[in-house]
Structure 1
Amino acid sequence: MTVLQEEAVEASLDADAVVTGARRPLSRNRLVWLRLKSMPRFWVGAGVFAFIVLWAFTGPLLYPFSPTDRDVYNMNMGPTLMHWFGTNSIGQDIYAQTLSGLQKSLVIGLIAGPVATIIAAVVGSAAGYLGGWPDKVIGWFVHLLLVIPSFFILVLLSPIYKGLSWVALTVFLAIFSWMIMAQVVRSQTRSLRNRDFVRAARYMGMPTGAILRRHIIPNIASLLIIDATLGVVTAILSETSLSYFGFGVQKPDVSLGTLLADGTAAALTRPWLFVFPAMVLIALLFAISLIGDALRDAIDPTSGVNRG
């Protein structure tokens, strides 16, 4: 074979490698990321959410007033260069209180939402995989919890956690927010437990916990990611609603719900007490909802019309 022939063969092999590489299927994570990148609503939601988180935790460091400071010379004042969001009836700065309440609502939502999803994944996958009487017992328990809406359960239990810190409220929000997703996970697990790779793992003597952790839960991870994201919205809304009606965060702690409750009566006469916390809450929920909506369409394009 001449030198020219060898060079021609090598060029042909290189071309085949390029074509093969181009046709190589993308991994699922890569495909999801490429879909997300093409969705403007994802970037809008992620950008707004990142700004809100950064603002909530760095804003107080750049502001001269704390949530508990009182300016007795500027009580019930509207927004000024000194008090950006105005002050309340006892001279406390609304901007500082809004940032403090935003921190509290963010921490509660970002903990309670994912924890509820983890509970749903464990309970639902165990029930769907084991079947038989464990499935019936777990299913009966889940239906029992679904009889009464979780909001009313938390209201009934409020005397227990009201005397404790907001951490107790976070735990209770997570405990009573997993049931619907557990039903979805249970149904998906039933369809997965008879797949060949699950049967092979079972015949090899792999423990039930390992099968759930390695084969069942990874195959429903897309549902869990979406649920955890939207669960943050649910947790923030639940905390805000409970605090608004006096069943959630208790003074002297501050949350967006307590600020809205304090400002409702003066929404027409002193609108800054209500409008600024309400706008922050709306922007936060809007951003997380955009991210969750984009994730849903990126992971499962058949879930709805892709508006990105």
Structure 2
Amino acid sequence: MSDTLVPAGGQTGNPKHGRSRRGAKGAKAPKAASLWSDAWYDLRRRPLFIGASVLIALLVVMAVLPSLFTSVNPFDAKNCNLGDARLGMSEAHWFGTDNLGCDIYARTIYGARNSIVVGLATTVVTAIVGGLLGLFAGFRGGLLDTLLSRLTEIFFAIPSILGALLILAVFRTGNVWTVMLALAVLTWPMTYRIMRAAVITAKSQDYVLAARALGASAPRIMFRHILPNAIASVIVVATINLGYFIAAEAGLSFLGVGLRSPDISWGLMISDARERFLEAPWALLFPALFLSLTVLAFIMLGDAVRDALDPKLR
């Protein structure tokens, strides 16, 4: 039998493996691996995630602090001159001017705020409402699950854009919050179904059965054990949906039932420019370009997060 002494904790202290956990003074214990730490480690090494994050960060700064990017305030009527209508790109007007002689660059910068606010607000509302309902329905089952499942089937039968058109046409108050509510009312069932399926899978796992055996209450099991393990799929879908909501707001504004003047959004700018597209194509192309890049950035971010959180794709 070997006379080698094994220190407490079962580690040999071999220099190839570093110091033992209870060895040298002040040595830090290694952090336990988890889904989130592994996902963050993976995301930091993905060029797709880094590129999308940089672009999204730039767009958020643009939405919060537009004055950093332009000194022209498009809400001030003094900055619009009909005599300068449909001018091309120049040193004074980088993106040209629109039908009213307003600077398109300044309007594009300021238009980011409403578009991104609608996308973020709708994403948060659908994630909270659909996530909580899916958590309770998946955990409880029974009559509650049956009723909510039938209700979501009704919503799935309604095309979201068509339903939002009807809601906004009835209320006739096109602003950020009514557009957000119209989209959220019709799109929360997707988050509900994803969370419900994840909860049903998670509640049969050994760690949940062990928590039940130890006498943990139902709220503790739901929010302490099941929710952290089921929320990953909701985060992925919410990230991808954010881009969809931004595009949906632009579509509703383009159709005349979303945001309305004097508000500024990329959809409104595209709608205003479509009639004179052949005379001044830049008035449509630049807001459309910013809209496309924003939607693409959030879709790329969602794809990267999905790949990082799904162990099968690693």
What TM-score comes out, normalization by structure 2 length?
A: 0.85
Q: Distance in 1 between matches of 2:141 and 2:44?
A: 40
Q: Distance in 2 between matches of 1:174 and 1:61?
A: 32
Paired positions, count: 299
Alignment of 1:184-223 (within 5 A): 184-202=194-212, 206-223=216-233
Please tell me whether the aligned partners of residues 121 and 217 of structure 1 are also in contact (alpha carbons under 8 angstroms). Answer: no
Q: Are the structure 2 counterparts of residues 223 and 174 from structure 1 closer, same or farther at C-alpha, using a change threshold of 3 Å?
A: same
Q: Distance in 2 between matches of 1:12 and 1:198?
A: 35
Specify the alignment match of 1:63 in structure 2. 70
Specify the alignment match of 2:26 in structure 1. none
Q: Distance in 2 between matches of 1:86 and 1:227?
A: 37
- The AA in structure 2 aligned to 1:26 is A
Specify the alignment match of 2:165 in structure 1. 155
Specify the alignment match of 2:140 in structure 1. 130
Deviates more, 1:50-59 or 1:149-158: 50-59
Q: Are the structure 2 counterparts of residues 129 and 150 from structure 1 closer, same or farther at C-alpha, using a change threshold of 3 Å?
A: same
Deviates more, 1:59-68 or 1:270-279: 59-68
Q: Are the structure 2 counterparts of residues 190 and 60 from structure 1 closer, same or farther at C-alpha, using a change threshold of 3 Å?
A: same
Please tell me whether the aligned partners of residues 162 and 249 of structure 1 are also in contact (alpha carbons under 8 angstroms). Answer: no
The CA deviation at 1:161 is 4.2
Specify the alignment match of 1:49 in structure 2. 56
Alignment of 1:222-237 (within 5 A): 222-237=232-247
Q: Are the structure 2 counterparts of residues 243 and 131 from structure 1 closer, same or farther at C-alpha, using a change threshold of 3 Å?
A: same
What whole-Å deviation, never above 9, does each CA across 1:243-280 have from its counterpart, x for those lacking one?
Answer: 11112111211111111111122222211110100111
Q: Distance in 2 between matches of 1:249 and 1:209?
A: 41
- Greater fraction of residues in helix: 1
The CA deviation at 1:137 is 0.5
What whole-Å deviation, never above 9, does each CA across 1:207-242 have from its counterpart, x for those lacking one?
Answer: 544432222221112112112211211210111111
**Percent identity of paired positions between Structure 1 and Structure 2:** 29
**Among 122, 125, 128, which residue is 1:118 paired with?**
128
Please tell me whether the aligned partners of residues 70 and 92 of structure 1 are also in contact (alpha carbons under 8 angstroms). Answer: yes
Q: What value does the CA root-mean-square deviation take over the aligned residues? A: 2.9
- The AA in structure 2 aligned to 1:191 is T
What TM-score comes out, normalization by structure 1 length?
A: 0.87
SS of residue in 2 equivalent to 1:88: coil
Higher relative contact order (CA 8 A, sep 6+): 1
Alignment of 1:1-308 (within 5 A): 13=13, 15=15, 18=18, 26-68=33-75, 69-163=79-173, 165-202=175-212, 206-303=216-313
Q: Are the structure 2 counterparts of residues 179 and 139 from structure 1 closer, same or farther at C-alpha, using a change threshold of 3 Å?
A: same
Structure 2: runs of 5+ lacking an equivalent: 22-28
Please tell me whether the aligned partners of residues 105 and 255 of structure 1 are also in contact (alpha carbons under 8 angstroms). Answer: yes
